[in-house]
Amino acid sequence: MKIAVLASGRGSNFKKLAEAVKDGKIKAEISILITDRETAGAADIAREFNINVCYLPFKKFPDRDAYDREIVSILKQEKISLVCLAGYMRIVTPIFVKAFENKIMNIHPSLLPAFPGLGVHKKVLEYGAKFSGATVHFVDTGVDTGPIIIQAVVPVKPGDTPKSLAERILKWEHKIYPQAVKWFTEGRIKIDGRTVTVEKASYDSPPVVPALEDF
């Protein structure tokens, strides 16, 4: 199975996926990294893992639809079966979502549906929430609204800053994203409307549901 990763930033989640593939935990190939930012750390990680990098600057396209049509055409050409958004800072258009329905995953650093969008950790702290977490979900045409695959719950502690909370959550992101991708490559993820089920997984072991098996 061929996977594409789309990232705009530092790329730590992308790195964890690449490591899991390299270690043989995920039996698939990451064939391409597409980035909209030339200086993205993710591009350096791709080179480190000998993954093909495609830099697509948005300013070269007339609008978002044209940009996403180009991405879809690259992904089809590469025969990609799963697209992983990993810190990809662009909202994907319906053109992209329809072309890869239930084949695009995203990782978001909150317990969705709470705190979608940007500036998540600051919003969580300002709200006074006592739990936050991380969510891997399929991507639909909304912002962080697609069917949820796996979530990890993380406590918010007195004295937390957006940075300390982000760090605590990122450790779980690095486990749940490779796990979700592994399940997908094993064909164990079933989707019924908004409800995603992982076949033969345990649903009785917080803080991560379904329970981690491999990470």
Q: Which residues are catalytic?
A: 108
Helix (H) or strand (E) segment spanning residue 120: helix 120-127
Cα separation, 126 vs 123, in Å, equals: 5
Q: Check residue 108 for interaction with ligand GRF (CB under 6 A).
A: yes
Q: Examine residue 57 and say whether the peptide bond preceding it is cis (omega within 30 degrees of 0).
A: no
68 is an interface residue for ligand GRF by CB under 6 A: no
Closest CB 55 distance from ligand GRF, rounded Å: 16
73-92 footprint of ligand GRF as x/- string (CB under 6 A)? -------------xx-----
> Which residue type occupies 110?
S
Cβ contacts of 160-163, under 8 Å, gap ≥ 24:
160/125, 161/125, 162/121, 162/122, 162/125, 163/121
Collapsing DSSP to helix, strand or coil, 206 comes out as coil
Comparing CB distances to ligand GRF, the nearer of 49 and 69 is: 49
Region near ligand GRF per CB under 6 A, out of 58-66, 104-112, 150-158, 204-212: 104-112
Q: Which is nearer to ligand GRF, 7 or 180 (CB)?
A: 7
Closest to 111 in 3D by CA, of 164, 148, 86: 148
- Tell me: does residue 32 bind ligand GRF (CB under 6 A): no
Toward ligand GRF, which CB reaches closer, 19 or 69? 19
123 binds ligand GRF (CB under 6 A): no
Residue 10 touches ligand GRF, criterion: CB under 6 A: yes
Distance of CA 3 to the CA centre of its chain: 12
* Alpha-carbon distance values, 191 to 34, 138, 184, 196 (Å): 26, 10, 11, 5
Question: With respect to ligand GRF, which residue has the nearer C-beta, 109 or 210?
Answer: 109
Q: Which of 4, 34, 97, 107 binds ligand GRF (CB under 6 A)?
A: 107
Q: From the CB of 13, what's the least distance to ligand GRF, in Å?
A: 3
